């Protein structure tokens, strides 16, 4: 009771104060100084009071000013000349002498407008965690899509690109992994339209990933905001992974501006080629493996003729080489990027138009990405109260790539490493004369061990992905009254993706269990999405004390996705007829999928600021998703249809505006932020919540069976988060520092629970796993030097993520992936590697006998075999058998710590900058090394295998060579895991802007850069940065995609 009374008194007091203020009619005189971040006075800054008429006032030579006001509390606006940014300062009356620091024009300022959902607001008033990205560099770097710019600069955001293939995109996690089976990727909204997740597209070619962001030319982007905090609740069921708002070409000015830029450069392999055995070493190893195979010695020449061939034999020349096959797959290549835009208009209509063309080759031979983009936006002031804008975006791109990774027949890396160095890419004829004639014309056929000729992989194998995307939106903004406005957006997203692959006969291993000599594949995926968003917003300020901004609306989105696959096999062996109709009827395959999903959300937001000191934000949304089951829990029902409720609140205390800090004038802003909220993820499968039937085949006809164990209670995954943070900026934002602690408890994660066998279906989808992410984020920026024309800036960010599974169905779920296993176990990190602990090699028979270990088939481990730790058995005791009971958590593919550093120096018109990025505490399953050190077949191997155990008593860490590896020395174990930490210089960039007096252009900038010049890592593969697909389970498994290239580039940008 007492508290309530006190609260009432407090409210009354507030009213009294505000009331009194409005009655006070005294004149106040304030004097002060305006200074820059060097603490030097600024002369000539014009000063005005917001909402009050006064004669204009300009600071004097010492930066001082004196003003009179009729009110006790008011905003002072400082409008400097072009070197500094405009600043508003809220004056609350108690001081008579104030010092105001202004921000340099090229620094981030509190008065900058930040793109947020539905509105722009001043950076200083943003309550929820929103990070913006400086789009200035977008013109200068040779990146194909904007996601690459996120790397190393987002505190708490980890971007891992899929591969070095241009345009392939990557995986972006904001504040850690957020789901096991549902999407982890943030929702991307381009000019108000949510894009689909790239993970909905499947690929017939292994290692093919689609990147929805590749449809936007980086130069088109005018603003990016990354929302991770409370404001994501406005996107309810799609908000839990964060939201990325992208704003493209925005014609702000009525002057016509024309911009043209061109850049070009060269790619080269950034890492080193892997050291492989030479022909002589290979022969020794192959002999050893043959000897271990148990097949009679007289069969060896049949198995491996090249080993026994003598110079006088026919065909000797085929086996007489010492060839480095890696040189067949890599090449230096080129790229170019041209971009043109024009913007302009008048008071009634404004437009922007851009076209761009990019052609970027990969570092693998015959790969690359080319893209044509065009974008138009127009804004028309129909009436004073109504503005209509329209944008259209047409993009067409083609990506040429290679099936990498797991498909051993077609993977450039696996074939080039495994191919015997004795052989040569081209065929030789039988007689020497013929040999000379035919050399370098006919590609050599596949060898005896079934390893494709890398030359054929690079030159005859084809995989192409063509993409045509049309995005269009129509937006109306109307003012209903002075404070109330309405927005309405209708947008359509049409995407067509077509993949063609031809797996040739010549030079290649047979496919599909040896049945197929060549194959042609086509896949088309079509998405049609329509989106509509309508909202009202109300903005009102009351006497400079209360600022209220209320927004309410509804949006819906309907998606139709169709995918068709056709595969023709055994076409004419001459590889000339590559079309689908030419395949063998018996082997044709047709497949595909159709999915529909819908989303509807009613949402509301309230922003309220009191006295410029206390900032509140409340978000709420009610979401309908067609993926959610009717009987889901934690939903509310309307018309018997489930809606998820998502909400958040944020509070920010601008402590720097409290009276006890008002006199610390160098303290520009100091805030303490609190956020709390619940957001959701509805990506739990489009059919998991329905009872449905699927077709099946019997004889010449089809039948119907129940499809799966549907879960009509399937609900949203939920993120329950809170954030504590503080941010300080000093001396006109010259120094900024922020720290956030972010805790997300993700509950109700989708898992596929195993059913008892008497229940028929093997798995059912259920919301039965929880996980927590504890994220510590630091971000520092400082202009360390600001002397005359020389500036020196340093930005640093660092994030530490503790991830832990807190609950999962059955306590743990082990998932088998190609080559390895992952476990999700309570108390461990999500998707931890799970395998044996490798402890070296038995050097002597005696030692092996003493250990007395058997593998899971009952074969004994002997001298030269791997020594795995026998941890447990069925009775909880070590049982002398190495099997599932002896697997342990071996680490995780997700880093504990990552961040970046940005340094930039500028002198007059010349600027030099560099961006560094690091990840630490990440394990990599090196699948390529696993293939390259197994010594279980006649593939060529790494020089590391020279250390292989080869005699009794040999102390080494490399087991003996053995055909077929019957005892399982190469089973998934800590042997294949490596420290994946790395420090990488992302780019070094230099640019020079021509002084205007030398040119007739508005702007002429010449720039150059080196991308990926150095990487420091202990990792033994080509590249420690890769992400095989969007699937969370394979993060950290290096299946040998194209490594990132080193790029050297020059460019020019002209503005008229």
Partner 1 sequence: MLNMENTEKKHRFLFLTRNIHFHGFKSVRILVFALIMAVSGCEKFYEPDLGIGIKAEDYFNDESEFRAAVLGLYSLQQDLVEQLVILGELRGDLTVITDHADNDLREIYYFNVSPNNKYASPRGFYRLIIACNMLLNKLEEKHPNVKDPDALINNYDRYYGEVLCMRAWAYFNAARIYGKIPYIPSSIININEIEKFVNPPQTPGNPIVSNNAFLDLFSIIDTLTLQLKTKVKAVGVNHYILNADATWDVTIWTNYSRLALIGQMYLTKGDLAQARASFQPIMFNNDPGYGIRFGLDNTFAFNAWKNILTTINLNEHIYVLRFNKSDRQRHELQNLFSNLLPNSYQLKPSRQAVLYWETIWSGFRLKTDETTGNTILDPFFPGKPGDFYRGINVSYGYFKGGMQLTSSLVDSMLNYKRRESYIDVNNIMDGVDTVITKYSVNKNPFDWDANFILYRAAGVHLYHAEILTALYLIADAQNILNREYRGVGGNLGVRGRVGFANRLPPPYNTNWADDSHIEARISPVYLRDPFTNQVVGSMNLPGSADVQNYLEDMIIEEKARELAYEGERFYDLMRVAQRRMKTDYDKGKRFLADKIAARYSEAEAAMMHERLMDEKNWYLPFYIGTEAIDK
- The interface with partner 1 within residues 475-494 (CB under 8 A) comprises 478-481, 484, 486, 488
692 binds partner 1 (CB under 8 A): yes
- Min dist. Cβ of residue 602 to partner 1 (A): 7
Please, which residue, 106 or 512, has the CB nearer to partner 1? 512
| Of the residues 72, 546, 690, 954, which one makes contact with partner 1 according to CB under 8 A | 690
Residue 308's CB is within 10 A of a number of other CB atoms, namely 14
766 binds partner 1 (CB under 8 A): yes
| Of the residues 542, 636, 693, 741, which one makes contact with partner 1 according to CB under 8 A | 693
DSSP code, position 971:
S
Give dist(CA 217, CA 144) in Å, integer.
7
- The interface with partner 1 within residues 342-401 (CB under 8 A) comprises 382-386
Please, which residue, 112 or 512, has the CB nearer to partner 1? 512
The answer to whether the CB of 169 falls within 8 A of the CB of 213 is: yes
| Of the residues 1, 53, 704, 787, which one makes contact with partner 1 according to CB under 8 A | 704
Please, which residue, 14 or 530, has the CB nearer to partner 1? 530
Look up residue 119 and give its two tokens. Answer: 């509105």
| Of the residues 694, 846, 908, 1018, which one makes contact with partner 1 according to CB under 8 A | 694
- Min dist. Cβ of residue 707 to partner 1 (A): 6
237 binds partner 1 (CB under 8 A): no
Residue 267, SS3 per DSSP = strand
| Per-position b or e across 664-682, b if 16+ CB within 10 A of its CB | ebebbbbbebebbbbbbbb
814 binds partner 1 (CB under 8 A): no
Beta-carbon contacts of 173 under 8 Å, excluding residues fewer than 6 positions away, are 157, 158, 184, 185, 241
- The interface with partner 1 within residues 974-993 (CB under 8 A) comprises none
- The interface with partner 1 within residues 726-765 (CB under 8 A) comprises 755-762, 764
Q: Which position has the token pair 């989708």?
A: 750
- The interface with partner 1 within residues 597-636 (CB under 8 A) comprises 597-598, 600, 602, 624, 626, 631
Determine which helix (DSSP H) or strand (DSSP E) holds 307, and give its type and residue range.
helix 305-308
Binding string to partner 1 for residues 140 to 179, with x set by CB under 8 A, is what? ----------------------------------------
Residue 997, SS3 per DSSP = helix
Binding string to partner 1 for residues 633 to 662, with x set by CB under 8 A, is what? -----xx-x---------------------
Please, which residue, 287 or 558, has the CB nearer to partner 1? 558
Please classify residue 40 by burial: count the beta carbons closer than 10 Å to its beta carbon, then call 0-12 exposed, 13-18 middle and 19+ buried.
exposed
Give dist(CA 103, CA 98) in Å, integer.
16
C-alpha distances out from residue 954 to 36, 817, 840, 949, 959, Å = 71, 34, 12, 6, 10
295 binds partner 1 (CB under 8 A): no
Gyration radius (Cα) of the chain, Å: 32
| Of the residues 256, 541, 596, 1002, which one makes contact with partner 1 according to CB under 8 A | 596
Please, which residue, 519 or 738, has the CB nearer to partner 1? 519
Binding string to partner 1 for residues 566 to 595, with x set by CB under 8 A, is what? -------------------xx-----xxxx
| Of the residues 77, 545, 554, 662, which one makes contact with partner 1 according to CB under 8 A | 554
- Min dist. Cβ of residue 973 to partner 1 (A): 18
Please, which residue, 102 or 822, has the CB nearer to partner 1? 822
Please, which residue, 713 or 897, has the CB nearer to partner 1? 713
56 binds partner 1 (CB under 8 A): no
Give dist(CA 437, CA 288) in Å, integer.
36
The answer to whether the CB of 992 falls within 8 A of the CB of 1006 is: yes
Piece in contact with partner 1 (CB under 8 A), picked from 72-80, 207-215, 466-474, 706-714: 706-714
- Min dist. Cβ of residue 704 to partner 1 (A): 4
| Of the residues 433, 698, 998, 1000, which one makes contact with partner 1 according to CB under 8 A | 698
Binding string to partner 1 for residues 513 to 532, with x set by CB under 8 A, is what? xxx----------------x
Give dist(CA 987, CA 144) in Å, integer.
15
670 binds partner 1 (CB under 8 A): no
Residue 216's CB is within 10 A of a number of other CB atoms, namely 26
Give dist(CA 276, CA 117) in Å, integer.
54
- Min dist. Cβ of residue 489 to partner 1 (A): 12
C-alpha distances out from residue 398 to 118, 214, 370, 1043, Å = 34, 11, 5, 20
Please classify residue 320 by burial: count the beta carbons closer than 10 Å to its beta carbon, then call 0-12 exposed, 13-18 middle and 19+ buried.
middle
534 binds partner 1 (CB under 8 A): yes
- The interface with partner 1 within residues 896-955 (CB under 8 A) comprises none
Please, which residue, 194 or 242, has the CB nearer to partner 1? 194
Please, which residue, 9 or 386, has the CB nearer to partner 1? 386
Residue 400, SS3 per DSSP = strand
Piece in contact with partner 1 (CB under 8 A), picked from 701-709, 818-826, 837-845, 1021-1029: 701-709
Please, which residue, 369 or 834, has the CB nearer to partner 1? 834
**Among candidate residues 336, 442, 418, 355, the one with its CA nearest the CA of residue 938:** 418
- Min dist. Cβ of residue 625 to partner 1 (A): 8
Write the DSSP assignment of 907-947 as a string of letters.
ETTEEEEEEEEEEES-EEEEHHHHHHS--SSSS--BGGGGG
710 binds partner 1 (CB under 8 A): yes
**Among candidate residues 531, 677, 636, the one with its CA nearest the CA of residue 191:** 531
The answer to whether the CB of 963 falls within 8 A of the CB of 936 is: yes
Please, which residue, 497 or 799, has the CB nearer to partner 1? 497
| Of the residues 50, 120, 253, 691, which one makes contact with partner 1 according to CB under 8 A | 691
28 binds partner 1 (CB under 8 A): no
- Min dist. Cβ of residue 347 to partner 1 (A): 12
802 binds partner 1 (CB under 8 A): no
562 binds partner 1 (CB under 8 A): yes
**CA torsion, ordered 309, 315, 320, 322, to nearest 10 deg:** -120
In the chain, the N- to C-terminal Cα span, in Å, equals 70
Please, which residue, 278 or 532, has the CB nearer to partner 1? 532
Phi, psi (rounded to 5 degrees) for 49: -110, 130
Beta-carbon contacts of 111 under 8 Å, excluding residues fewer than 6 positions away, are 85, 86, 87, 88, 122, 123, 124
857 binds partner 1 (CB under 8 A): yes
- Min dist. Cβ of residue 158 to partner 1 (A): 34
| Of the residues 581, 696, 909, 999, which one makes contact with partner 1 according to CB under 8 A | 696
Give dist(CA 801, CA 813) in Å, integer.
22
406 binds partner 1 (CB under 8 A): no
**Among candidate residues 529, 669, 649, 566, the one with its CA nearest the CA of residue 192:** 529
How wide is the angle at C-alpha 416 spanned by C-alphas 414 and 419, nearest 5°? 100
- Min dist. Cβ of residue 711 to partner 1 (A): 4
Residue 885, SS3 per DSSP = helix
- The interface with partner 1 within residues 877-896 (CB under 8 A) comprises none
Site size toward partner 1, by CB under 8 A: 77
Piece in contact with partner 1 (CB under 8 A), picked from 106-114, 144-152, 683-691, 799-807: 683-691
Please, which residue, 581 or 596, has the CB nearer to partner 1? 596
702 binds partner 1 (CB under 8 A): yes
């Amino acid at each position: 009771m007492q508290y309530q009374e006190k609260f009432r008194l407090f409210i009354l007091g507030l009213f009294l104060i505000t009331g009194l203020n409005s009655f006070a009619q005294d004149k106040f005189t304030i004097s002060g100084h305006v200074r820059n971040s060097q603490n030097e006075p600024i002369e000539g800054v014009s000063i005005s009071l917001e909402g009050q008429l006064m004669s204009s006032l300009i600071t004097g030579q010492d930066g001082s000013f004196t003003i009179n006001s009729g009110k006790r509390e008011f905003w002072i606006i400082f409008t400097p000349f072009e070197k500094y940014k405009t600043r508003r300062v809220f004056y609350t009356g108690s001081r008579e002498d104030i010092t105001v620091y202004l921000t340099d024009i090229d620094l981030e300022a509190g008065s900058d407008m930040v793109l947020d959902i539905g509105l722009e607001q001043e950076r200083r008033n943003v309550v929820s965690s929103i990070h913006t990205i400086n789009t200035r560099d977008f013109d200068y770097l040779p990146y194909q899509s904007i996601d690459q710019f996120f790397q190393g600069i987002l505190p708490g955001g980890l971007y891992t690109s899929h591969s070095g293939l241009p345009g392939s995109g990557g995986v972006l996690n904001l504040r850690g992994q957020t789901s096991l089976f549902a999407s982890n990727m943030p929702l991307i909204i381009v000019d108000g339209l949510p894009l689909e997740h790239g993970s909905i597209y499947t690929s017939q070619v292994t290692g093919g990933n689609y990147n929805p962001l590749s449809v936007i030319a980086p130069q088109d982007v005018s603003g990016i905001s990354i929302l991770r905090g409370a404001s994501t609740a406005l996107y309810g069921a799609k908000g839990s992974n964060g939201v990325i708002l992208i704003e493209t070409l925005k014609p702000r000015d009525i002057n016509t501006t024309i911009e043209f830029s061109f850049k070009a450069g060269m790619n080269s392999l950034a890492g080193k080629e892997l050291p492989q055995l030479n022909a002589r070493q290979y022969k020794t190893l192959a002999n050893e493996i043959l000897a271990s195979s148990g097949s009679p010695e007289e069969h060896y020449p049949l198995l491996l003729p090249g080993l026994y061939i003598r110079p006088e034999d026919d065909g000797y020349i085929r086996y007489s080489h010492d060839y480095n096959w890696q040189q067949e797959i890599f090449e230096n290549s080129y790229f170019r990027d041209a971009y043109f835009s024009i913007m302009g208009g008048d008071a009634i209509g404004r437009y922007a138009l851009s076209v761009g063309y990019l052609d970027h080759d990969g570092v693998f031979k015959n790969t690359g990405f080319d893209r044509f983009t065009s974008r138009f936006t127009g804004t028309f002031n129909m009436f004073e109260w109504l503005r209509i804008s329209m944008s259209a975006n047409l993009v067409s791109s083609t990506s040429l790539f290679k099936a990498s990774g797991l498909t051993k027949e077609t993977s450039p890396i696996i074939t080039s490493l495994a191919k015997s160095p004795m052989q040569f890419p081209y065929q030789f004829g039988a007689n020497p004369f013929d040999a000379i004639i035919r050399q370098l014309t006919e590609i050599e056929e596949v060898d005896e061990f079934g390893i494709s000729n890398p030359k054929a992989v690079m030159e005859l194998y084809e995989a192409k992905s063509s993409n045509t995307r049309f995005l269009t939106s129509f937006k109306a903004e109307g003012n209903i009254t002075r404070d109330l406005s309405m927005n309405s957006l209708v947008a359509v997203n049409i995407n067509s993706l077509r993949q063609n692959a031809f797996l040739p006969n010549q030079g290649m291993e047979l496919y599909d269990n040896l049945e197929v000599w060549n194959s042609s594949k086509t896949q088309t995926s079509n998405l049609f999405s329509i989106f509509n968003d309508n909202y009202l917003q109300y903005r009102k300020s009351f006497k400079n004390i209360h600022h209220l901004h209320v927004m309410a609306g509804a949006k819906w989105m309907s998606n139709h996705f169709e995918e068709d696959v056709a595969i023709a096999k055994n076409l004419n062996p001459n590889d000339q007829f590559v079309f689908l109709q030419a395949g063998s009827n018996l082997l044709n395959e047709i497949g595909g999928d159709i999915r529909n999903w819908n989303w509807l959300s009613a949402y509301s937001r309230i922003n309220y600021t009191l006295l410029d000191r206390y900032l509140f934000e409340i978000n709420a949304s009610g979401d309908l998703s067609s993926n959610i089951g009717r009987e889901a829990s934690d939903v509310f029902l309307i018309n018997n249809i489930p809606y998820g409720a998502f909400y958040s609140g944020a509070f920010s205390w601008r402590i720097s505006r409290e009276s006890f800090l008002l006199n610390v004038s160098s303290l520009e802003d100091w805030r303490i932020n609190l956020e709390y909220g619940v957001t959701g993820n509805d990506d739990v499968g489009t059919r998991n919540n329905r009872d449905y039937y699927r077709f099946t085949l019997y004889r010449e006809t089809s039948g119907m069976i129940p499809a799966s164990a549907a879960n009509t209670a399937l609900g949203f995954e939920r993120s329950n988060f809170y954030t504590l943070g503080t941010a300080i900026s000093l001396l006109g934002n010259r120094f900024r520092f922020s720290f956030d602690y972010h805790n997300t408890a993700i509950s109700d994660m989708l898992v596929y629970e195993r059913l008892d066998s008497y229940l028929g279906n093997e798995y059912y989808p259920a919301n039965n796993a929880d996980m927590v992410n504890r994220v510590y984020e630091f971000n520092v920026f400082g202009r360390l030097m600001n002397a005359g024309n020389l500036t020196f800036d340093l930005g640093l960010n660092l994030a530490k993520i503790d991830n832990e599974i807190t609950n999962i169905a059955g306590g743990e779920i082990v998932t088998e992936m190609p080559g390895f296993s992952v476990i999700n176990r309570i108390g461990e990190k999500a998707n931890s590697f799970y395998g044996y602990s490798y402890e070296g090699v038995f050097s002597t028979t005696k030692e092996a006998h003493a250990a007395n270990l058997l593998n899971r088939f009952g074969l004994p481990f002997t001298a030269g075999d791997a020594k795995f730790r026998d941890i447990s058995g069925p009775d909880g005791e070590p049982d002398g058998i190495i099997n599932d009971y002896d697997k342990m958590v071996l680490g995780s593919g997700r880093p504990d710590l990552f961040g970046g550093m940005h340094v930039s120096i500028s002198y007059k018109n010349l600027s030099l900058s560099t961006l560094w990025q690091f990840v630490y505490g990440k394990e990599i399953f090196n699948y390529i090394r696993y293939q390259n050190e197994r010594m279980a077949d006649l593939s060529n191997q790494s020089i590391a295998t020279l250390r292989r155990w080869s005699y009794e008593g040999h102390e080494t860490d490399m087991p003996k060579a053995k055909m077929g590896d019957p005892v399982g020395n190469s089973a998934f174990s800590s042997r294949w895991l490596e420290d994946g930490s790395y420090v990488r210089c992302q780019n070094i960039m230099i640019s020079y802007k021509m002084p205007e007096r030398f040119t007739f252009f508005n702007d002429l900038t010449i720039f150059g850069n080196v991308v990926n010049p150095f990487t420091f890592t202990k990792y033994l593969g080509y590249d420690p940065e890769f992400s095989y697909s969007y699937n969370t389970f394979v993060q950290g498994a290096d299946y040998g995609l194209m490594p990132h290239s080193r790029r050297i580039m020059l460019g020019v940008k002209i503005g008229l």
